[in-house]
Chain A
Amino acid sequence: MKRRFFFSSLAILACAPGWQPAGAAPGDDWVAYRDAYRSMVVFEKYGGPKSLLQQHLQVLPRTPGLDTHRVVLLVAGKTSQGRFPLDATLRTVFPLARSAYDENAMLQLSRPLGPFTVRPQVSLALRPDNLYDSAELYSGCEQALAYARQLALFGARRCTGVRFVFAKGSVAAPVTLRAGADTALAAAPGAPFAGDGDASFPVVTYRFGGTRTQLATASVPLAITPLFD
């Protein structure tokens, strides 16, 4: 079957570090593209404020501890094909493609990693200058909280902070608090998102409170996640 790349973002993604040759054998396991689409489009259709948020699709292998380096998410339909590299947290920007939905395509991984599931993951948008205003972080957390609250009646009620998740091997104190004298915030090992199998990422937790301040990150975080009570 002739492969046809239909996603507009593919040309960019094909050059990304996670790209693998088309001949690499994908795993046998799969997830229905339509199910993933339906879980992801809820955020897309959400009419509330979300300018400070971003959404990814996250892959969750059922077996933790596997080598997931450079794994690519494959979209395999009758005519719809696509390759989407996963980052270190196993997330990717999900292609909402009507053609793959209509074809009932499947999602596979470029390497056999056993059974997996997928889930939407909402986090705070990253800034290109690595500088974050605490008031803006709070607004982003509030946007994430408002989104979560319209999904279920009971649950989180208050924003308490954000978590900066960095790539493994980052500096020991990857976030600097610029309030008068600079204060470096040390990272502690943690999971990027609740329920993740790998809890060895450097994570800096910043709790809201006190005066408005600026936070600088030493490198681009993998994710900034809201912290709710």
Chain B
Amino acid sequence: MPVTNPMPDGSGDMYLGLGVVSAPRYAGADQRRVRLLPVLQGQWSNGVFVSGMNAGWHLSRLPLLEYGPLVSLDPGRDDGGAGASAIGIERAVGEGNLPRLPQVAVLYNAQVLASGNRLNGLPAISRRLQGGAFLHVYLAPTLRLTSSALYGAGNDHDGATFKVGLQAMGWAPAPHHAVTFEGEVALANRRYNQAFFGIDNDQSVNSGNPLYEAHGGWRDARLGARWHWTLAPSWMLVSSVEATRQLGATRTSPLVLRTTGVSVSTALAFRF
């Protein structure tokens, strides 16, 4: 039994809820959109977890290490910039491996965009189930190094990403309030960046965007803060603000009109 899911044997720790998120229509868009935000998180004592758009299995027996297989639903993108997306509202509080709180998933089909959208004429990118692994290390009781590798995004199922980040947890500015800060950089292979940020001949003709070949490498860097307000043992308000800066080949893509995008969200979650 992995100690990294600390709870009674045979039990779980679940969250369900609803909120709103305001974010760029797609990575690099200059227009924003407000969407509904279903909250979904579950952890079970056998190590299995569902966390927003991710699901995995904790295999480690050492609290300072968390690793295991990971599957993740890539949201894809339609020609309006919509698709499934996810934001995380995970937290850890106090010292040692204290409780982790929920991540949030969004599955949403947006309305068609108004004209002027750079994605007009581009093929939709379907949702894809990616497979990979995660590895987290607690450098200190409230400082966690995170990493994950996933493969399978894009219409050709061959987009790969690798993310590495740092989370500082456990800051409690007031009773029942906890804030987590995190930073993360993401790298992607050429096929991923080409699928989401490149423009080939046909796409150029259909969309009017110039040809663009996106090489692999840096995808983006993200800085964020999550604020958990525990209203009652079973109710929590989770809010977050996050800035994402496109890097490398994605930054100079004709689809990227703003290299830095900010998203904010708030959601009410029920714990059971």
* List of A residues within 8 angstroms of B232 by Cβ: 106
| B139 contacts partner chain A, Cβ-Cβ < 8 Å | yes
* List of A residues within 8 angstroms of B230 by Cβ: 32
If over half of A's interface residues share one DSSP class (helix, strand or loop), that class is named, otherwise mixed; here it is: mixed
| B31 contacts partner chain A, Cβ-Cβ < 8 Å | no
| B156 contacts partner chain A, Cβ-Cβ < 8 Å | no
Contact call A35/B140, Cβ cutoff below 8 A: no
How many angstroms from the CA of A39 to the CA of B33 in the assembled complex? 39
Complex partner residue of A39 from B6, B62, B64, CB under 8 angstroms: B6
Which residues of B from 30 to 87 have beta carbons under 8 Å from A?
A: 61-64
Contact call A151/B63, Cβ cutoff below 8 A: yes
| A33 contacts partner chain B, Cβ-Cβ < 8 Å | yes
* List of B residues within 8 angstroms of A152 by Cβ: 64, 96, 138-141, 143
Contact call A35/B11, Cβ cutoff below 8 A: no
Which residues of B from 7 to 28 have beta carbons under 8 Å from A?
A: 7-8, 11, 13
Which residues of B from 136 to 151 have beta carbons under 8 Å from A?
A: 137-141, 143
B230-261 CB mask vs A (1 if < 8 Å, else 0) is 10111000000000000000000000000000
| B133 contacts partner chain A, Cβ-Cβ < 8 Å | no
Contact call B98/A38, Cβ cutoff below 8 A: yes
How many angstroms from the CA of A93 to the CA of B230 in the assembled complex? 25
Contact call B95/A119, Cβ cutoff below 8 A: yes
Contact call B233/A106, Cβ cutoff below 8 A: yes
* List of B residues within 8 angstroms of A47 by Cβ: 61
| B272 contacts partner chain A, Cβ-Cβ < 8 Å | yes
A interface residues, tally (CB under 8 Å): 34
How many angstroms from the CA of A42 to the CA of B4 in the assembled complex? 8
* List of B residues within 8 angstroms of A116 by Cβ: 175
CB distance from B38 to the nearest CB of A (A): 21
User: Taking A38-B13, A115-B175 as contacts, is the C-beta distance between A151 and B233 under 8 angstroms?
Assistant: no
Which residues of A from 142 to 167 have beta carbons under 8 Å from B?
A: 149-155
User: Taking A104-B233, A152-B140 as contacts, is the C-beta distance between A35 and B99 under 8 angstroms?
Assistant: yes
* List of A residues within 8 angstroms of B11 by Cβ: 98, 101-102
User: Taking A34-B13, A42-B6 as contacts, is the C-beta distance between A117 and B94 under 8 angstroms?
Assistant: yes
Complex partner residue of B98 from A39, A104, A106, CB under 8 angstroms: A39
A6-37 CB mask vs B (1 if < 8 Å, else 0) is 00000000000000000000000110111101
* List of A residues within 8 angstroms of B137 by Cβ: 153
Contact call A30/B139, Cβ cutoff below 8 A: no
| B3 contacts partner chain A, Cβ-Cβ < 8 Å | yes
The closest CB in chain A to the CB of B138 belongs to A152
Most buried by A among B95, B143, B230, B272: B95
User: Taking A150-B62, A152-B64 as contacts, is the C-beta distance between A119 and B94 under 8 angstroms?
Assistant: yes
| A73 contacts partner chain B, Cβ-Cβ < 8 Å | no
Complex partner residue of A98 from B8, B99, B139, CB under 8 angstroms: B8
Contact call B7/A41, Cβ cutoff below 8 A: yes
How many angstroms from the CA of A164 to the CA of B272 in the assembled complex? 41
CB distance from B8 to the nearest CB of A (A): 5
How many angstroms from the CA of A30 to the CA of B143 in the assembled complex? 26
| B172 contacts partner chain A, Cβ-Cβ < 8 Å | yes
CB distance from A150 to the nearest CB of B (A): 5
The closest CB in chain A to the CB of B4 belongs to A42
Contact call A150/B175, Cβ cutoff below 8 A: no
CB distance from B169 to the nearest CB of A (A): 12
Contact call B233/A33, Cβ cutoff below 8 A: yes
Contact call B6/A38, Cβ cutoff below 8 A: yes
Complex partner residue of A35 from B3, B63, B93, CB under 8 angstroms: B93
| B205 contacts partner chain A, Cβ-Cβ < 8 Å | no
How many angstroms from the CA of A33 to the CA of B99 in the assembled complex? 11
Complex partner residue of A41 from B8, B141, B271, CB under 8 angstroms: B8
| B97 contacts partner chain A, Cβ-Cβ < 8 Å | yes
| A105 contacts partner chain B, Cβ-Cβ < 8 Å | yes
5 contacts between A and B (CB under 8 A): A35-B93, A38-B99, A42-B63, A46-B3, A155-B141
Pairs A-B, 8 closest by C-beta atoms: A115-B175, A32-B233, A38-B99, A45-B3, A98-B8, A41-B6, A104-B233, A38-B6
